[in-house]
Chain A
Amino acid sequence: MKNRWRKVLYENHDKPDNYIDETFLDDLKKNLYVRKYDLWTVIRESGVVTQQISCVCIFVLLFIYMKEDKISPQMLVAISLATTFVGYLFFCWLSASELRRSAWADLKSAGAFLTLSFGLSPILMTLTSTISTDTVYAMTVAMLLTNLLFHDYGANAAIVSQSLSLNAAIFSAVCLASRLPTRWHAFATLALALQIFALWPSLRICLKQKHWLNQCLTTLLLTVLSVVGMATISFTGAVLLALLHLFISFGCSTWLIALQPLKNNIHGPWDEAVISN
Chain B
Amino acid sequence: MIHNICMVSDFFYPNMGGVESHIFQLSQCLMERGHKVIIVTHCYGNRNGVRYLTNGLKVYYLPIYPFYNQCVLPTVFPTLPLIRFILLREKISIVHGHSSFSTLAHEAMFHARTMGIKAIFTDHSLFGFADGSSIITNKVLKYSLAGTNHVICVSHTSKENTVLRAAINPHKVSVIPNAIDGTIFTPDPSKRHPCRLRVIVMCRLVYRKGADLLAAIIPQICSQHPDVDFIIGGDGPKRIVIEEMRESHSLQDRVKLLGTVPHHQVRDVLVQGDFFLNTSLTEAFCIAIVEAVSCGLQVISTKVGGVPEVLPIDFIQLAPPSSKALVAALNAAIDLRRQEKHVDPLVAHQRVAKLYTWQNVAMRTEKVYNAMAEEPEIELRDRLLRYSQCGPVAGKIFIVIAVINYFFLIIVAYWSPAEHIDIATDFPHKLKSTPQRWTRSAAKRTK
Contacts and interface: CB of A to CB of B under 8 A. Distances in A.
Interface stretch (B34-42, B65-73, B165-173): B165-173
A9 B172 CA distance: 18
Nearest to A272: B282
A273 B309 contact: no
Interface string A212-229: 000000000000000000
Contacts of A266: 129, 164
B186 interface: no
Contacts of A276: 320-322
Interface string B129-168: 1100000000000000000000000011110110110000
A1 interface: no
B354 to A, nearest CB: 10
Nearest to B163: A25
Contacts of B356: 9
Question: Chain A: interface secondary structure?
Answer: loop
> By CB atoms of chain B within 10 A, which of A10, A25, A269 has the most?
A269
A122 to B, nearest CB: 48
B355 interface: yes
A14 interface: no
Contacts of B127: 270
Interface in B300-346: 302, 304-306, 308-312, 320-324
Contacts, number: 96
A109 B364 CA distance: 74
A269 B284 CA distance: 10
Interface residues of A, number: 25
Interface in A12-36: 16-18, 20, 24-25, 27-28
Contacts of B368: 17
Contacts of A20: 170-171
Given A17-B175, A17-B367, A270 B321 contact: no
Interface stretch (B20-28, B208-216, B270-278, B388-396): B208-216
Interface in A231-277: 265-277
Contacts of A27: 157, 160
A269 B311 CA distance: 17
A8 interface: yes
A4 interface: no
B275 to A, nearest CB: 21
B212 to A, nearest CB: 6
A28 B321 contact: no
Given A17-B175, A17-B176, A266-B129, A272 B309 contact: no
B282 A7 contact: no
Contacts of B161: 268, 270
> By CB atoms of chain B within 10 A, which of A9, A16, A267, A274 has the most?
A9
B129 A273 contact: no
A268 B155 CA distance: 14
Contact of B281 (A9, A17, A272): A272
B174 interface: yes
A9 B156 contact: yes
A277 to B, nearest CB: 5
B160 A277 contact: no
Interface in B103-123: none
B156 A277 contact: no
B128 A271 contact: yes
A273 B355 contact: no
B157 A270 contact: yes
Nearest to B307: A269
A29 to B, nearest CB: 11
B282 A273 contact: yes
Interface of A: 7-10, 16-18, 20, 24-25, 27-28, 265-277
6 contacts: A20-B171, A24-B160, A25-B163, A268-B164, A270-B284, A273-B302
